[in-house]
Chain A
């Protein structure tokens, strides 16, 4: 149970560091990935470096507009950099896309980190209505018109 979620995603990109989730992102890079040398043939930090190479979130149903909210208690949790930032930003509800912009990371990377935070209980999805009521669509129309 504990081993499988951290296994390499079949689509994962090469990651030379230790795939342990607790590994800081500045782990020593191997021959293929130059994280902070900048002089190798690939000077760009590979996007899924932040997720230990995983490209699939533990949690399904994370749309780009899904709103997330963190419990205030999560602020004192021992989280690494990106996760901590997400928990800080989500003290007010924030969407996956907003987080991707704030952290300058691809959506897929945010989905993986957010999925972990939800699994660990630091983050919760702000549940949405399955179908928007007609009155709400009318409200959208009227608010847009009034912009």
Chain B
């Protein structure tokens, strides 16, 4: 346990180093002109990926995408629009670069966001599908109204849904960190939860629960290297929701 704590401390310190560097470095503010999707070209998608830094996305009541960024010298952001898909291409030279990307999108836009080295992803409102990958750092998604597939290799996932798409599967996975997902009380889904070290805490009653990781069961006799698997339905069942963490706890919370 002490070893895990020490490892966590070392990881945290390593993750903080780049951000200390960005604070010390000069930064530039970039504002892109508003980007409009091609009319009637289908559901809109905004995608972007950065190495280091932070991606923040929120919705606004407008038909365009607004992008601003705070970057270290040598970084540029180029919008590439293909009908209903906007790719924000972040171009950087050699060496360490960091970027804080702020994106405002029209309601209902889908998102595909990636942090390849380390940082944070924050989404405040999304009515479309959300796809997030973060190698080192946490992911926080609030006021979602569609579906999501989220992976954080070393970091926690915190997602709360105001509404879920009743036909679409979702997945939340992390290697080291907790998975904390809040779903509307009436959500109907087939749950599949896998974890190695940690546990499951659920506000929902799992119907027809089966597996080796039942929340109420004593799993102390199991080999810690064996993955615990818990399956069950909530509110009669529906699309499959998949949760996985190797080192951490899965929290399922009942929202309003």
A and B: bona fide binding partners: no
Binding site for B on A (CB under 8 A): none
